[in-house]
């Protein structure tokens, strides 16, 4: 079992993944390309932020690469691992959020990351994390099935128990406790993963990262040109409020970025440009808007 971490190989993979994802969306977005913005971290390292705004299909999207170092691991990463609290750390990852224009195209999120804590690499504590989840505003069952089928295929080479475990963790993590409501239809989510040594764990992370475009692009292509009106847009911007609430209240990645002194614009690039909150608003019984919360935003086995 190979347990020696090689962060440089992770960094190389992540940079290439960022480029591949942005190139794919640049090829189908006729109005804008992703803007490339490099930055440096005050304690070492830095990142490359790629952001698109006001496209024909993407209202706002960001694909962030970061590689940061610090003298003390932030509380958001060490609260459940007291043995490494206060240790120096090095972290790298890709974080992606896409907010499409069309209300029939779901918002999506993907993240893959690696963190190592300790002064001696050979004795350090390290782990991988990541996953992806889908947040529709109008539900389509075939999209949900495709999303979870692709996620399961990415996990299957690593054991039959991986997808069910990661799906359950995703359903539990992307949940707004204060509203008793799921953020979306889930997907897969994992953290603190170091099973089978570095190469095995790295291979799993790469399988998840490489499967993202396979999971999302067919849905994006199917829905991006569907006709919509102002009522659909109104519901979309209302439901985006739930996305903002989760990212600012619960999201560990947001907290880690803020606590580690990350670049604020890159950390908050996940927030949509247009969003609204309505006081005690209720969707009409029997409507597609009502069906979203009653059927789609409930934890279920989409592959049964």
Q: Are 281 and 62 in contact (CB under 8 A)?
A: no
pLDDT for res 41: 76
Average pLDDT over residues 140-164: 98
User: What pLDDT band is residue 82 in, cutting at 50, 70 and 90?
Assistant: low
Average pLDDT over residues 226-230: 98
Q: Are 240 and 292 in contact (CB under 8 A)?
A: no
Residue 72 in this model has a pLDDT that exceeds 80: no
Q: Are 201 and 195 in contact (CB under 8 A)?
A: yes
pLDDT for res 187: 98
Fold for the domain defined by 7-296: oxygen-dependent coproporphyrinogen oxidase (3.40.1500)
Best CA proximity match to 263, nearest among 92, 3, 42:
42
Residue 1 in this model has a pLDDT that exceeds 70: no
Catalytic positions, written as ranges: 109
Distance in angstroms (rounded) separating the CA atoms of residues 284 and 15: 45
Beta strands in the chain (DSSP E): 35-40, 45-53, 58-70, 89-100, 107-117, 125-135, 175-176, 181-182, 186-193
Relative to beta strand 125-135, strand 175-176 is unpaired
CA atoms within 13 A on the CB side of 56: 11
What share of the chain in percent tops pLDDT 70? 94
Mean per-residue pLDDT of the chain:
92
Q: Are 46 and 38 in contact (CB under 8 A)?
A: yes
SS (H, E, C) 250-284: CCHHHHHHHHCCCCHHHHHHHCCCCCCCCCCCCCC
Please give the C-alpha separations between residue 146 and each of 62, 187, 282, in angstroms, as whole numbers: 23, 11, 29
Residue 79 in this model has a pLDDT that exceeds 60: no
Average pLDDT over residues 181-190: 97
Residue 86 in this model has a pLDDT that exceeds 80: no
Best CA proximity match to 88, nearest among 45, 53, 130, 56:
45
Residue 69 in this model has a pLDDT that exceeds 80: yes
Residue 81 in this model has a pLDDT that exceeds 80: no
> Domain residue spans in the chain?
7-296
Output the six-digit token pair for 267.
Answer: 């950390």
Output the six-digit token pair for 46.
Answer: 């830095």
**Model pLDDT for residues 13-54, shown as the tens digit of each residue:** 999 999 999 999 999 999 889 999 998 877 678 999 999 999
Q: Is 164 exposed, middle or buried (0-12, 13-18, 19+ CB in 10 A)?
A: middle
Average pLDDT over residues 280-284: 89
Distance of CA 107 to the CA centre of its chain: 10
| Residue 152 CB coordination number (10 Å) | 19
Average pLDDT over residues 268-274: 88
Residue 283 in this model has a pLDDT that exceeds 80: yes
**Model pLDDT for residues 164-182, shown as the tens digit of each residue:** 999 999 999 999 999 999 9
**Model pLDDT for residues 241-267, shown as the tens digit of each residue:** 999 999 899 888 787 777 777 678 877
pLDDT for res 259: 76
């Amino acid at each position: 079992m190979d347990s020696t971490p090689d962060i440089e190989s992770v960094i190389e993979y992540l940079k290439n993944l960022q480029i591949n994802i942005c190139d794919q969306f640049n090829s189908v977005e006729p109005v804008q390309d992703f803007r490339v913005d490099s930055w440096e971290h005050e304690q070492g390292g830095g990142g490359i932020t790629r952001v698109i705004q006001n496209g024909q299909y993407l209202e706002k999207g960001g694909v962030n690469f970061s590689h940061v170092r610090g003298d003390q691991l932030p509380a958001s990463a060490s609260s459940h691992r007291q043995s490494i609290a206060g240790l120096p750390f090095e972290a790298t990852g890709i974080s992606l959020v896409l907010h499409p224009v069309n209300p029939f195209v779901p918002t999506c999120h993907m993240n893959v990351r690696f963190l190592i804590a300790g002064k001696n690499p050979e004795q350090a504590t390290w782990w991988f994390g990541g996953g992806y989840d889908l947040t529709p505003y109008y539900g389509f069952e075939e999209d949900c099935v495709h999303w979870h089928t692709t996620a399961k295929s990415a996990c299957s080479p690593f054991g039959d128990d991986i997808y069910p475990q990661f799906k359950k963790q995703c359903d539990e993590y992307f949940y707004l406790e204060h509203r008793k409501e799921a953020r979306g239809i889930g997907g897969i989510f994992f953290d603190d993963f170091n099973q089978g040594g570095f190469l095995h764990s790295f291979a799993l992370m790469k399988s998840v990262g490489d499967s993202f475009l396979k999971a999302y692009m067919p849905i994006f292509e199917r829905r991006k040109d569907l006709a919509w009106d102002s009522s659909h847009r109104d519901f979309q911007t209302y439901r985006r409020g739930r996305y903002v609430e989760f990212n600012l209240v619960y999201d560990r990645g947001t907290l880690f970025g803020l606590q580690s002194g990350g670049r604020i614009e890159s950390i908050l690039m996940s927030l949509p440009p247009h969003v609204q909150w309505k006081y005690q608003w209720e969707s009409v019984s029997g409507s597609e808007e009502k069906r979203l919360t009653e059927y789609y935003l409930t934890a279920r086995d989409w592959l049964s």
